[in-house]
Amino acid sequence: MRVTALGANSMPQTQSQPEPWWRGAVIYQVYPRSYCDSNGDGVGDLNGLAERLDHIASLGVDGVWISPFFKSPMADFGYDVSDYCEVDPLFGTLADFDRVVEKARGLGLKILIDQVFSHTSDEHAWFQDSRSSRSNPRSDWYVWADAKPDGSPPNNWQSVFGGPAWTWDARRGQYYLHNFLSSQPQLNLHRPDVQSAILDVMRFWLERGVDGVRLDAVSFMMHDPELKDNPPRECTARRRTRPFDFQEHLYNQSQPEIVDFLKRLKEVGDGYGSSYMVAEVDREHSDAEMKAFTQGEDMLQSAYGFTFLYADDLTPALVKRAMEEWPGHAGEGWPSWTFSNHDAPRAVSRWAKGRDPKAFADLTVLLLMCLRGNVFIYQGEELGLPQAEVPFERLQDPEAIANWPLTLGRDGARTPLPWQSDKAHAGFGPSEPWLPLSNAHVDLAVDRQEADETSTLHHTRRAVALRKRFEALRTGRIDFLNSSDDILAFTRGEGAAAVLCVFNLGHQDAAFRAPDGWQIVQTLNGADTASTTLEPLQGYIAKRA
């Protein structure tokens, strides 16, 4: 079989400059509401995270990203912040957060927090001041606009969660902008004083010991000041379930001024050593923005989009297309990848499509560890959890409730983590949890998988260890090999240090014969290393012989 390299995806490394800790890192995402409930109120908390932090460390990951735990009315479960510098009592106290940081240090884990700088809660003191009059010092800290002559909103912008992106406020006699819920008013980050206030928030947490920040909804940080109408989007094969899907979002997001603000954020982070910042870019065509946000030394270290999170299928073409968007040119930023998170249905349920769910979970874990860039493991992914089914009467997600039953919503990816199969509520806590536990998840509880060396949990530990063992898997270039439509085959690194990665992502047996000179170091789902055929979901990792 002829083997051809299809792309070189990194610049040669120099011996004189060691890679920073975050480059090629594996980071575990914690959704704290659903990780561990320490006080019996049905909601996970910071003390529960501290109690179970050893589980994360046992995976061998480099760091932990904690989704929002800040003071909030919880209309969007913490992504509606009412005080950036306070812990919500639901999750504990600042002292509890300090204990998480201290324990993480002892376990060799970095701590990342989730910051939402595009909007706040309408209960934030800044918004309360802003809405009180048109003349107070914070009057322009949010995006306000007059009604049209007929009383309708200033333009046609639509909210992600459905309906117009404008809500009338009688106090000011104006509309305010909200790209999400009406209780999440949009900050006016065009104003230098608003930017300065946000930079102070960054300093508060960096001084408290965090090692990095995941920046939520970066594309929404700024709007077009002229408030021009968005043009309609041409009919697409993708199903449209919200008014938001009918527009090209040229003016309510992705404004060029975002780049300069991110530079200011990065400058603050640089003042605290090796602080790591990663931007979430939630946009259909996110690659250009991901690059703009990470291009050059004065920009963020990394960014990730929804390339895999919203993909209908996991195919070699998808992986190749995603990797080749980052060819490693001089000055180019560093990508991050994830297959699951709190905003998307779990990968096993999206992609297995009738194939063995455990075998598929094991494949996705190993493949993720082989990708060039940083990678995020979403809590429960190390257990191979499928999407949970949450009945309508138990739904909490406002998007799912509004669009039922046309979207799967986010609750099914946010249900509590199962710890002990024989305990009430699978050991998550002593009381009924805020979202119901799935029976299918109880069968995959941590204690059961600890007792089974063939489990996805043990497989995840081996996969992370493999990435750490071979520097090529963390930071090396990536070159794709010619193969069939179902076979994904590529090398990482160069020369004697190179690693070969082969996966059958299809539904049928597929032929593949590795070139000479390779020695198998790990097989996947019972692959026969002597055979030239891989069954569905089989694969292997090899090093130079």
- What residues are labeled active site? 216, 280
The pair of structure tokens assigned to 239 is 């199903």
Number of Cβ within a 10 Å radius of residue 520: 16
Burial 112-131 (b: 16+ CB within 10 A, else e): bbbbbbbbbbbbbebbeebb
Q: Which residues pair with 490 in a beta bridge?
A: 480, 501
- Distances 94 to 45, 64, 108, 114 between C-alpha atoms, Å: 12, 17, 21, 15
Pairing relation of β-strands 478-480 and 374-378?
Answer: unpaired
Placement of tokens 């606009």 in the chain:
145
**Which of 266, 235, 261, 265 has its CA nearest to residue 248?**
235
Distance (Å, rounded) from C-alpha 539 to C-alpha 140? Answer: 56
**Which of 420, 435, 340 has its CA nearest to residue 385?**
340
Contact of 496 with 545, CB cutoff 8 Å: no
Integer-rounded Cα Rg, in Å, for the chain is 23
Number of Cβ within a 10 Å radius of residue 516: 7
**Residue 75 identity (one-letter amino acid):** A
Distance (Å, rounded) from C-alpha 420 to C-alpha 485? Answer: 41
Number of Cβ within a 10 Å radius of residue 264: 16
- Distances 490 to 455, 477, 523 between C-alpha atoms, Å: 26, 10, 15
Is the bond into 192 cis (omega within 30 degrees of 0)?
no
- CA dihedral 340→49→464→456, nearest 10 degrees, is -70
Sequence-separated contacts (24+) of 127-130 with Cβ below 8 Å: 127/185, 130/185
Task: Tell me if residue 427 falls in helix, strand or coil.
Answer: helix
